[in-house]
Amino acid sequence: MAAINFRRSWWKRFLVFLAILGPGIITGSVDNDAGGITTYSVAGATYGYQLIWTLIPAFIVLIVIQEMNARMGIVTGKGLADLIRENAGVKVTFFIFVGLLIADIGNTTTEFAGVAGSMEIFGITKYLSVPLAAFMVWILVVKGSYTIAERIFLIFSVSLLVYIVSALLGKPQWSEIGHSITHPGMDMNTKSIAMVIGVIGTTIAPWMQFYMQSAVIEKGLKIKDYGYTLLDIVIGCIATVVVAFFIIIACASTLHVKGIAINEAKDAALALEPLAGKLAQSLFAFGLFIASIFSATILPIATAFYVCEAFGFEAGIDKKWKEAPEFYFLYTLIIILAVIIILMPNAPLIGISIWSQVLNGMLLPVVLICMMLLVNNKKIMGEHVNKPLNNFIGWTAVVVLIALSLMLLVFPLFT
Amino acid sequence: MTSQTTFYFSQFAGRKFFDSTGEVLGKISDFLIDVRAWTLESHEPQRPRVIAISVKQGKELKFFEFQNFGIRKYKGKLRLICQELKELNTANLQNCIWLKENILDKQIVDLEGRKLVRVNDIRLVMIPSGTYALAVDVGIEGLLRRLGVLTPISTFFESFGVDLPSRMILWDDIEAVDFSNSSIKLSKAQSKLHTLHPSDLADIIEDLDKASRAYVFSTLDEEKAADVLEELEPEVQAHIVESLPVGKVADVLEKMPADEVADIMDELGVKKAEELLNEMEDDSSREVRELLEYADKVVGSIMSTDYMTFSPDLTVEETFKALREEKPEPSYIYSIFVVDKKDKLISSISLGELAISDPALTLGRIMKRNPVTVFDDDDIDSLAEIVSKYNLLAVPVINRSQEMEGVVVIEDIVEDLLDKRKTK
């Protein structure tokens, strides 16, 4: 019998490997969006190296949650929105998705604020940069190919590593960093606790769960790809945490030492110049721009997609406007609203960013509980239900996150 | 009591039901419908009848026959009343589906619109002869009704003279596909999906989840299954092939053109491919193996081995007769090929040329020598230019010793171009 000479060369196999490597890394990169960079910068500037240890539990929780999403996507081939709608009924679905829609309009606004802030450092007014960026993002999805965009962004996400350079230019105190990691601690006051919640909370936004699961399905991954997928998730989570680590360090070793307080990521970039040089400032701003525009592309489309999925409207960028009017309407609406809010003179940007984070915090436990119930449902997952260890880590994460989110909601009332 | 009451499933699901004195008997969980009725050959539209109801009494889930149930209006709302509870014999439940478990909130196939839709509510009617499912509600109206806010919102819109868009699909025009949460399976003959065009069916299958894909595919007969499989995206092909029994897949693959089968084999692992090739009949698997030898970027990898050759001594009349007897797929005979006794290609005659020629003349008389050909190891990228330059629908493929190996038809070239554009 003739041996089968497969046309697929090693190069093609490598490409397949790269194609599988994607959902996790992209999700991980989108994680460090404008809101994330702001939170990390403020954490570094305010508390120095003290809160760096929080990245370790955030990292573990991130991996556990994303693994569950990937497994559900691979086993069922159904999106998280589909599964929630089919198993939790219309009312829960309605609550979750209307909440997500509002939160994501807020989040998208934060992304465009990142675009505006970073471009202002390069001397470009937001009245030019924001409409232009929004138009580019919109046209890319409606007229262009999203696949191409995704690949470009995958390359761009590597450029987020500029934060490493930016941090090193600030000459960090490595021994102090090591001490913080080995001796986790924090001041017991509301501001400090809120900061910890912020760091962990910004790393695990509810919409990412939907994005992750859909991306896994989009790639057509099978259970035999599970190993690669897990690797992809771990790489993505490491990338997230490494970038966060260096942003905190960049701000801690410069701004914190000089006692400079900041409110926005843009402030951090501005304050870096006299302390670490023009290059550090430009790199910081460039990273912010890339992160913002990356998330501004993915967030609206992902939101429009899973809202339509849940309510049974046609969705997908391969559909024409006429075939999926609700989808394109939602997508366009999210972008337009975000741009209008940004361009309003005296827009309460910090308030919007805080409130969308609070809304995220309220939705996260609901989404996570749905996920834990789904992933343990034998009818849905068959033999691939959670193992006891998964469940232990998963439920612990859920409980801790709910506690944190409750604290985030309750603490502002006392301060 | 009225002789006809139309209602929505959402008006009863999760609500209490009563005996004739108004005493609460339990909570309504689900309706079981018999779907046999709507596939019988009949001119009258047949609706599936509700034959049973599942209810919760305390914590216990119980099944009762539906015939003793009635509907009464009570304080402006509909109430489900039961005269006498009769337990259902669950032993004999074939071709029945549950409304909540299999239809409500699930994706179903809209046969008219040829796409997947999500069911927000189900419309039923109770008449003296029984209770029947009429249609599914897939519009915003159904969604609002489920949320319990339909009346205020529609009144609000009506005051502006705007009607909420309602979207109902009659039961004849839908097919349930999602049985992932239950053990129920419909028999092949019950499925209305085979009325769809293979390309539409392929689009629908691509949008489905894994369990439903395999289910839909398994309801198709071999011919239809082969046509659909051919139209699917490579990764979906691989998934379906892997999730069905080897024997069944091999039968389907034998019905497909060898070049398409070779493409599927490329997607699969070596072990699975070998297993399938061994299961297939020798003739079919040999062709596939030959095609698999070709490298990725050469003509041989996309050529088809289904073509027809004739001797130059045959008349046009006889050629047509042979074609009518053979009944090949239209794409196999865009052109027919004239070969000598040693199988060397002499000429290529398009079906058009053949049709306008004198039936009495031999192929040798009407043909032009030196046809446009490509070698099996030529680069694929050269094909588009050749078909465009010479206005061809099919290009014969020869090997370096001038023997005919196969043919590349225009569809394959277009498909290749589209693929390249997608991955650019």
Residues B289-335 have pLDDT tens digits of: 878 777 777 888 888 888 888 989 989 999 999 999 988 888 888 99
**Does the pLDDT of residue B72 top 50, yes or no?**
yes
Model pLDDT, residue A336? 94
Question: How many helices (H) and strands (E) in chain A?
Answer: 19, 0
Q: Minimal CA–CA distance to A40: which of A270, A306, A241, A257?
A: A241
State both tokens at B407: 């043919």
**In this structure, which amino acid lies at residue B371?**
P
Alpha carbons A251 and B131: distance in angstroms, whole number: 70
Q: How many domains does chain A have?
A: 1
Alpha carbons B25 and B84: distance in angstroms, whole number: 11
B296 touches chain A (CB under 8 A): yes
CA B140 to chain centre: 27
Model pLDDT, residue A356? 76
Give residues with Cβ within 8 angstroms of B384, minimum separation 6.
B413, B417
Contact A38, A209 (CB under 8 A): no
Judged by CB atoms closer than 8 Å, whether chains meet at B143 and A90 is answered as: yes
Q: Residue B180 falls within a domain, yes or no?
A: no
Residues of B within 8 A of A218 (CB-CB) are none
Contact A163, A34 (CB under 8 A): no
Domain limit, last residue, from B145, B175, B205: B175
Alpha carbons A26 and A10: distance in angstroms, whole number: 24
Q: Are residues B14 and B97 in the same domain?
A: yes
DSSP notation for A224-255: GGHHHHHHHHHHHHHHHHHHHHHHHHHHIIII
Q: At B31, phi and psi to the nearest 5?
A: -110, 140
Q: Residue A44 falls within a domain, yes or no?
A: yes
Please tell me which residue of chain A has the smallest CA distance to B234.
A220
Contact A408, A358 (CB under 8 A): yes
Alpha carbons A280 and A362: distance in angstroms, whole number: 36
Alpha carbons A398 and A364: distance in angstroms, whole number: 9
Q: Reduced to 3 states, what is the DSSP secondary structure of residue A17? A: helix
Q: Are residues B21 and B128 in the same domain?
A: yes
Model pLDDT, residue A338? 92
Q: Minimal CA–CA distance to B73: which of B147, B160, B5?
A: B5
Judged by CB atoms closer than 8 Å, whether chains meet at A78 and B273 is answered as: no
What's the pLDDT tens digit per position in B138-173? 888 888 888 888 778 878 888 887 777 778 888 888
Q: Residue B417 falls within a domain, yes or no?
A: yes
**In this structure, which amino acid lies at residue A263?**
N
B100 touches chain A (CB under 8 A): no
Question: Which helix (H) or strand (E) covers residue B267, if one does?
Answer: helix B258-267
Q: Residue B303 falls within a domain, yes or no?
A: no
Q: Residue A3 falls within a domain, yes or no?
A: no
With a cut of 50, list the residues of chain A below it in pLDDT: 1-10
Residue count of chain B: 424
CA–CA min distance A155, chain B (Å): 16
CATH of the domain at A127: 1.20.1740.10
Residue A189 buriedness (CB in 10 A; 0-12 / 13-18 / 19+): exposed
Q: Are residues B377 and B251 in the same domain?
A: no
CATH of the domain at B231: 1.25.60.10
B273 touches chain A (CB under 8 A): yes
Global ipTM? 0.70
Q: Minimal CA–CA distance to A211: which of A300, A273, A110?
A: A300
B119, B238, B296 ranked by CB distance to A7: nearest: B296
CA–CA min distance B192, chain A (Å): 22
Q: At B175, phi and psi to the nearest 5?
A: -145, 130
Alpha carbons A359 and A338: distance in angstroms, whole number: 16
Judged by CB atoms closer than 8 Å, whether chains meet at A8 and B266 is answered as: yes
Give residues with Cβ within 8 angstroms of B132, minimum separation 6.
B47, B48, B49, B50, B124, B125
State both tokens at B280: 């297939």
Q: Are residues B58 and B130 in the same domain?
A: yes
Residue keyed to tokens 């509510």? B121
CA–CA min distance A85, chain B (Å): 7
Q: Residue B95 falls within a domain, yes or no?
A: yes
Please tell me which residue of chain A has the smallest CA distance to B271.
A4
Judged by CB atoms closer than 8 Å, whether chains meet at B296 and A82 is answered as: no
What is the C-alpha end-to-end distance of chain A, expressed in Å? 79
A220 touches chain B (CB under 8 A): yes
Q: Are residues B253 and B154 in the same domain?
A: no
Judged by CB atoms closer than 8 Å, whether chains meet at B210 and A77 is answered as: yes
CA quadruple A286, A288, A293, A296: dihedral, nearest 10: 180
Bridge partners (DSSP) listed for residue A306: none
State both tokens at B206: 């691509």
Residue count of chain A: 415
**Does the pLDDT of residue B22 top 70, yes or no?**
yes
DSSP code of B370? S
State percent of chain A over pLDDT 70.
88
B168 touches chain A (CB under 8 A): no
Domain residues for the domain of A161 are 33-378+387-414
Domain residues for the domain of B393 are 309-423
Residue keyed to tokens 């000479």? A5
Residues of A within 8 A of B239 (CB-CB) are 220, 222
Q: Reduced to 3 states, what is the DSSP secondary structure of residue A50? A: coil
Q: Residue B182 falls within a domain, yes or no?
A: no
DSSP H helices in A122-225: 126-142, 146-158, 162-169, 174-182, 190-203, 206-218
Q: Minimal CA–CA distance to A66: which of A179, A211, A257, A163?
A: A211
| Sign of the dihedral defined by the CA atoms of residues B254, B255, B261, B265, in that order | negative
Average pLDDT, chain B: 82
Q: Residue A17 falls within a domain, yes or no?
A: no
Q: Residue A24 falls within a domain, yes or no?
A: no
Q: Residue B352 falls within a domain, yes or no?
A: yes
CB < 8 Å & 24+ apart, contacts of B72-76: B72/B1
Contact B299, B374 (CB under 8 A): yes
Q: Are residues B153 and B45 in the same domain?
A: yes
DSSP notation for B214-239: HHHHHTS-HHHHHHHHHHS-HHHHHH
DSSP H helices in A312-387: 325-343, 349-375, 378-381
Alpha carbons B368 and B376: distance in angstroms, whole number: 22
Q: Reduced to 3 states, what is the DSSP secondary structure of residue B308? A: coil
- Going across the sheet that includes B404-409, the strands are B374-375, B394-398, B404-409
Give whole-number Cα distances, A247 to A114, B50, B300, in Å.
Answer: 15, 63, 54
Model pLDDT, residue A379? 80
A322 touches chain B (CB under 8 A): no
Q: Reduced to 3 states, what is the DSSP secondary structure of residue B247? A: helix
Give whole-number Cα distances, B234 to A265, A302, A401, B106, B251, in Å.
Answer: 45, 25, 40, 26, 19
Q: Are residues B135 and B12 in the same domain?
A: yes
Residue keyed to tokens 């680069």? B379
Give the model's confidence band at B39: pLDDT under 50 very low, under 70 low, under 90 confident, else very high: very low
B115, B233, B266 ranked by CB distance to A7: nearest: B266
Residue A125 buriedness (CB in 10 A; 0-12 / 13-18 / 19+): exposed
Alpha carbons A239 and A27: distance in angstroms, whole number: 10
- Exposure of B288 in the CB half-sphere (CA atoms within 13 A): 27
| Sign of the dihedral defined by the CA atoms of residues B320, B323, B327, B330, in that order | negative
Contact A381, A387 (CB under 8 A): no
Give whole-number Cα distances, A34 to A294, A296, A359, B66, B294, in Å.
Answer: 10, 9, 17, 58, 50
Residue keyed to tokens 């919640």? A197
Answering whether pTM is above 0.90, one says no
Share in percent of chain A as helix, strand, coil (round to 5) = 80, 0, 20
Model pLDDT, residue B187? 58
Share in percent of chain B as helix, strand, coil (round to 5) = 40, 25, 35
Alpha carbons A307 and A334: distance in angstroms, whole number: 12
Q: Are residues B336 and B200 in the same domain?
A: no
Residue keyed to tokens 């721009």? A289
Q: At B93, phi and psi to the nearest 5?
A: -115, 75
What's the pLDDT tens digit per position in B178-209? 776 555 655 555 577 878 888 888 888 888 88
CATH of the domain at B381: 3.10.580.10
Q: Minimal CA–CA distance to A106: which of A364, A303, A306, A377?
A: A303
Q: Are residues B234 and B169 in the same domain?
A: no
B206 touches chain A (CB under 8 A): no
Question: How many helices (H) and strands (E) in chain B?
Answer: 15, 20
Q: How many domains does chain B have?
A: 3
Q: Are residues B125 and B235 in the same domain?
A: no
Give whole-number Cα distances, A239 to A235, A280, A411, in Å.
Answer: 6, 20, 31
Domain limit, last residue, from B144, B175, B206: B175
DSSP H helices in A256-348: 257-258, 265-276, 278-311, 325-343
Where b means 16+ CB within 10 Å and e means fewer, B107-123 reads bbbbbeeebbbbbbbbb
Q: Are residues B224 and B149 in the same domain?
A: no
Question: Which helix (H) or strand (E) covers residue A19, if one does?
Answer: helix A10-20
What is the C-alpha end-to-end distance of chain B, expressed in Å? 67
Q: Are residues B45 and B155 in the same domain?
A: yes
Domain limit, last residue, from B225, B259, B293: B293
